[in-house]
Amino acid sequence: MFSENTKKTGCIEVICGSMFSGKTEELIRRLKRARFANQKIEIFKPTVDTRYSDMDVVSHDLQKIPCTPVKDPKHMLEVAGDVQVIGIDEAQFYDESLVEVAQELANRGKRVIIAGLDMDFKGKPFGPIPALMAIAEDVQKVHAICVKCGNLASYSHRLSSSKKLVVLGEKDVYEPLCRQCFNEARKED
Catalytic residue positions? 90
Positive or negative torsion for Cα 42, 56, 62, 173? negative
SS3 per-residue string spanning the chain: CCCCCCCCCCEEEEEEECCCCCHHHHHHHHHHHHHHCCCCEEEEEECCCCCCCCCEEECCCCCEEECEEECCCHHHHHHHCCCCEEEECCHHHCCCHHHHHHHHHHHCCCEEEEEEECECCCCCECCCHHHHHHHCCEEEEECEECCCCCCEECEEEECCCCCCCCCCCCCCCEEEECHHHHHHHHHHC
Amino acid, res. 90: E
CA–chain centroid gap for 104, Å, is 18
d(CA 2, CA 44): 30
